[in-house]
Chain A
């Protein structure tokens, strides 16, 4: 079993739709959860960062973490064609020798069509 599971999609939605992206994880030591966006042939860029359980909102993006069910989500409101990319979820331990190490999901390919 992979430590972080993510449906690779692809996911295609019309412009303006609400997008829901999800991951599950198995490592109970994860305390930090991130969502990265990766455009084709580019490095990932950090979109959202959450510590432990809860919600976090930033503009059109909302990240949710439910540690009891080991489930993390990213919602994109009013999606735009420029949101078309691969979205990667990641988990990280809080400290020790694993501090800063990210474990990524497979990534979901999202296409927002006009």
Chain B
């Protein structure tokens, strides 16, 4: 089956630093990738939609200058949390959509746990 990887799986950083999270589709081309954030015991909240070769579309309330998304190739999207603060601590999950296979072909990565001290 389709595999999506994320790196790193967890990261601890100091307040004010930037953290980059990678999302890769390993065996298919993903024209669209989605970035979600999940706080403890809460659901996944969509942050942004990333289309290869174009600017990401951010959901209402998500600061685009704080959460930088780059989707430079059909298999890689990155999320950079700039000047991270403790309230940014969360579980970040990406999903990649295989556009050739219809709307159900959306596969989630294993997530990246971010802790900002």
Contact = CB atoms under 8 A, between A and B. Distances in A.
A and B bind: yes
Given A34-B104, A43-B108, A92-B103, A101 B34 contact: yes
Contact of B93 (A8, A44, A46, A106): A44
Interface string B82-117: 000000000101010100000110111111010000
B61 to A, nearest CB: 14
Interface size class of B (residues with CB under 8 A): 20 to 34
Contacts, number: 56
Contact of A100 (B6, B34, B108, B109): B34
Given A34-B104, A100-B32, A100-B103, A105 B111 contact: no
Main SS at interface, chain B: strand
A49 B104 contact: yes
B44 A101 contact: no
Contacts of B32: 100
B110 A43 contact: yes
Interface in A9-55: 32, 34, 36, 41-46, 49
Contacts of A101: 34, 46, 49
B39 to A, nearest CB: 11
B43 interface: yes
A32 B109 contact: no
Contacts of A107: 42-43
Contacts of B44: 44, 88, 102, 104
4 closest Cβ pairs, A-B complex: A43-B108, A49-B104, A104-B43, A106-B43
Interface of B: 4, 6, 32, 34, 41-46, 49, 57, 91, 93, 95, 97, 103-104, 106-111, 113
Given A46-B107, A100-B49, A100-B103, 17 more contacts: A6-B43, A32-B104, A34-B104, A36-B108, A43-B95, A43-B108, A44-B44, A49-B104, A92-B103, A100-B32, A101-B34, A101-B46, A102-B106, A103-B46, A104-B44, A106-B42, A107-B43
